Structure formats: structure tokens, C-alpha cells
Structure 1
């Protein structure tokens, strides 16, 4: 996941970590999740640095990217995941109708 400092206190990380723990504690699951988080600082949110950070994470085995709606950084993540054909999970945006969204690898979750 990639979060900005203002997202740190709203329960996103705790929710994801709880889901990881619940999944990994179920002995019937044939695989385990490994979750990592990167808090983005202001100097890292420009598109060039962000792409380097995400590509470095993909090189070490990331299988999906998770983020909220961060404006330009979100658009960069969306472009990267579409080109690399990996899932992008967004916890901020409202669901859209399939006819309105042509992306195959975007998952939007809301509580």
C-alpha cells in the first residue's frame, strides 16, 4: 500500500493488517498474504519518484498495488498497473458502472 501522512490515522492500515491476519490464520488457505506499506512523504509524491518507488516494489515481488485517491499520484499508479497488468486496489473512489470504466485490473473498495 501507499499512503500519504494524512491517511495514517483513518484506520486503513489497521483494516488491511486485520484482513491479512485473518486470511493467514485460516489453515485452509493454500497461500499466505504478505502486506507491506510505504508512507509517501511530500518529496516522494511527484510522478517520477513515485514510479521509481513502485517499480522497485514490483521488482521485489509485489503482486498488486493499493492506494487511495491521491490525484496525480493515483493517475500514475493507474497507468503503471494498466501497463504492467497488475491489480490496483483503491479504497477511496466510489464504485462506477462497468460501462463507465473500461479498466480490467481496478478494484474499488468502500466501507
Structure 2
């Protein structure tokens, strides 16, 4: 029996909260105005909100452009470094190929000298 009473009180608490929420929501039945273009401005508050949003957007765009340029500069720097490294590795590969060919030639001459009848 006690648990039924607790459930009733518990339900009553949630019921009162939802009623409070409903009354708070009724205070602002009108949806906020959408100011997307300069021509949507009707009041001074609209003007302030529009220019506040434009200022924030301009600052955000400026930061975005700075980050994009920085990222591009880093990529260009890495590209130059990798091209330089690629050139060095190609040169090293060429040198190693020449050394291998010289060693093969030397080995062939040694083998052919051993196989020659005396």
C-alpha cells in the first residue's frame, strides 16, 4: 500500500514539472523571426541581430581562410620535400644499380676465368 502512495506522489511530481514546462512554453508562442537577408530587416533589433550574425560569419570565414591557406602551405612544403627526397632516392637507386651491374660483370669474369682450361 505504501508503494502505491509513493507511485502516486512520484507521478504527481512529474505531472507538476510537465505543467510548469507547458506554461513556460506558452510564454513564447511566436516563433523567432528568421532574418536571412538584408531585406528581411524590419526593426532595430532585427538590424542588430543581422549585423551581429554577419560579423560572426565574417570572422568565421576569415579564420577558415587562414586555416585553409596554412594547410595549403604545409602541403606545398611537404610536396617540395618529397620531390627532393624522390630525386635523391632515384639517384641512389641509379648508383646502386650501377654498382650491382659492376659486381655482376666482375663475378662473370671471375667465373669465366675459373672455367677456362689451363
TM-score, normalisation: structure 1: 0.20
Greater percentage in helix: 2
Bigger Rg, structure 1 or 2: 2
Greater per-residue strand proportion: 1
TM-score of the two chains, using structure 2 as the length reference: 0.19
